[in-house]
Structure 1
Amino acid sequence: MAPQAEKHLAYTWVPRGGTVLFLRRHPENFLGGKWELPGGTVEPGEPPERTAVRETAEEAGLTITVTGERSRHTWRDVTGRDLLVHAIVYQGTESGLAGDVTLSPGEHDEFAWLTPERAAALDLLPHIRETLAAARPGSARGGSPA
């Protein structure tokens, strides 16, 4: 029996002034219009923490440092492929001065800095909604910058 095919994703929870960065997927892309955190596919041989840093730079133009792990998620591929998807959401901190968000053309069409409470009203990807539900205002994991 062949081993189950797997895909690994890494995302970053980037806080700023009591808010968190959310990106809206471009409408012409897979799951277009859904909101997510900066993140993407872990490349072969790449540590997931490095993926989170790379994807945040590519998708939002921000330089971050991973400071911890917020959540882990696993689900079957939503398109029906025989694929198991694993995602890790990391806590990130902007490195140096807070920069301007610069979206990657064609990947995302909007961004917003929102409190977890306001973000709950967005059309979020399920694993991002689960991460958001675990956030508690005022806690170490609640979206307030360190």
Structure 2
Amino acid sequence: MGETAEKHLVYCRVVRDGAVLFLHRSPGVFRAGQWELPGGTVEPGEPHETAAVREVAEETGLTVRIAGERGRHTWMDIGGKDLRIHARVFDVQEDATHDVVLNDGEHDDFTWADPATLDLADHFRA
């Protein structure tokens, strides 16, 4: 039996006027139709904080800096792969207020909302 593979993800909590930025997954992609925080996969050798800032820029066009780590979560792949997912969630601050510009390949909408009002995965709700 092989060793369980590990995948590292990072997500960012961007807040404006008391509301949190959430992105809506496009049809045809993994977890289509779900709301999530901006974020994604940490590249090999990339520091988690660098990956978090990069992912926000790629997915939203926003420039942010890390304010602190909000939490860490680990779970087994929901698709049944022998894969352990490690996610870190960071609080970030925008360098300047800009319009959100989505990467059309992954997300089809965004909202600034109270997390309690959306159907979210446990690691986003926490």
Task: Determine if the TM-score, normalized by the shorter chain, exceeds 0.5.
Answer: yes
Tell me the TM-score normalized by structure 2: 0.95
Structure 2 unmatched ranges of 5 or more: none
Structure 1 unmatched ranges of 5 or more: 131-146
Q: What residue is the counterpart of 1:91 in the other structure?
A: 91
Shift in Å, 1:2: 4.2
> How far apart, in 2, do the equivalents of 1:121 and 1:32 lie?
19
> Comparing 74-83 with 121-130, which one deviates more in the overlay?
121-130
Shift in Å, 1:121: 2.7
Query: How many percent identity over aligned positions?
Result: 57
Deviations along 1:35-58, whole A, 9 cap, x unmatched? 010000000000011111000000
Tell me the TM-score normalized by structure 1: 0.82
Deviations along 1:46-100, whole A, 9 cap, x unmatched? 00111110000000110000010001000000011101000000010001x2010
Q: What residue is the counterpart of 2:108 in the other structure?
A: 109
Letter in 1 for 2:18: G
Letter in 2 for 1:114: A
Letter in 2 for 1:122: L
> How far apart, in 1, do the equivalents of 2:118 and 2:14 lie?
17
Letter in 1 for 2:16: R
Residue among 126, 129, 137 paired with 2:125:
129
Runs of 4+ in 1 over 3 A off after TM superposition: none
Letter in 2 for 1:14: V
1:79 counterpart = 2:79 = yes
Shift in Å, 1:127: 1.1
Letter in 2 for 1:55: E
Q: What residue is the counterpart of 2:19 in the other structure?
A: 19
Letter in 2 for 1:30: F
> How far apart, in 2, do the equivalents of 1:129 and 1:122 lie?
9
Letter in 1 for 2:116: A
